């Protein structure tokens, strides 16, 4: 016999292992999900695995991220197209959930007391006393959210730019929960959540550059 069956011929190693593909994909996510860029997606470090999987499935199936008028969500719809398999989806969700939470710059100011009373009336039943979330209601933890993203999402739920899809059950209950809350009240709630159980505060770059003892404005 002169020739070997095809499977015996040594192939050059061109394919990546699952692990390597997972790592390469995380690097792509990090183009938008680190705190390096000004125009970017939210920090995902330390979010719950189940919630990340849930949202990635929504983006992948078009339940979230298909509305061109919601530009940032649309951008993520494109980001989600990089995920080629269930394995990769779970890999990236796991990776982000295992990272230590990152500190965030406090950008939202508001009346914390008012925010607390609204939170107790309208949010605590699903998201818990310390914003820890409740998987039974598919309500995520609110402890990792940066202020700007938190407020933006509340506005999107309120205006029907998120939670609009007929299959988005969780999104719809959240859209109902944010219905008719004024902008000022939204700010107050966000300010309260961040103050009470949000990410650790990071000093902004601008404040870091101020010489010690200097008075603003400078």
Binding site for ligand HEC (CB under 6 A): 25, 28-29, 31-33, 41-42, 44, 52, 55-56, 72-73, 75-76, 78-79, 82-83, 92, 122-123, 125-127, 137-140, 142, 145, 150, 153-154, 170-171, 173-174, 177-178, 189
Pick 183 or 216: Cβ nearer ligand HEC = 183
Pick 14 or 27: Cβ nearer ligand HEC = 27
Q: How far is the CB of 29 from ligand HEC (least distance, A)?
A: 3
Pick 105 or 124: Cβ nearer ligand HEC = 124
Q: How far is the CB of 213 from ligand HEC (least distance, A)?
A: 38
End-to-end CA distance of the chain: 86
Task: Supply 217's token pair.
Answer: 């404005």
Q: Does the bond joining 217 to the residue before it have cis omega, within 30 degrees of 0?
A: yes
Q: Does the bond joining 114 to the residue before it have cis omega, within 30 degrees of 0?
A: no
Measuring CA to CA, how many Å separate 147 from each of 19, 25, 37, 62? 33, 27, 16, 26
Pick 103 or 137: Cβ nearer ligand HEC = 137
Q: How far is the CB of 15 from ligand HEC (least distance, A)?
A: 20
Measuring CA to CA, how many Å separate 9 from each of 5, 6, 15, 17, 42? 7, 6, 16, 20, 47
CB 138 within 8 A of CB 48: no
Q: How far is the CB of 14 from ligand HEC (least distance, A)?
A: 22
């Amino acid at each position: 016999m002169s020739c070997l069956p095809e499977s015996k011929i040594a192939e050059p190693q061109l394919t990546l292992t699952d692990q390597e593909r997972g790592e390469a994909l995380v690097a792509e996510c990090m183009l938008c999900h680190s705190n390096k860029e000004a125009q970017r997606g939210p920090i995902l470090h330390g979010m719950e695995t189940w919630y990340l999987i849930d949202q990635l499935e929504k983006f992948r199936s078009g339940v979230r991220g298909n509305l061109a008028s919601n530009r940032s969500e649309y951008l993520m719809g494109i980001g989600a197209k990089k995920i080629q398999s269930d394995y990769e989806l779970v890999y990236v969700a796991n990776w982000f959930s295992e990272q230590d939470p990152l500190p965030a710059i406090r950008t939202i100011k508001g009346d914390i007391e008012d925010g607390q009373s609204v939170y107790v009336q309208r949010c605590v039943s699903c998201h818990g006393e310390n914003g820890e979330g409740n998987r039974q209601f598919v309500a995520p933890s609110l402890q990792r959210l940066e202020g700007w993203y938190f407020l933006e999402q509340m506005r999107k739920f309120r205006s029907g730019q998120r939670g609009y899809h007929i299959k988005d059950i969780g999104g719809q209950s959240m859209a109902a929960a944010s219905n008719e809350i004024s902008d000022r009240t939204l700010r107050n709630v966000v300010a309260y959540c961040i103050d009470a159980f949000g990410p650790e505060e990071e000093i902004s770059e601008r404040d870091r550059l101020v010489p010690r003892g200097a008075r603003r404005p400078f």
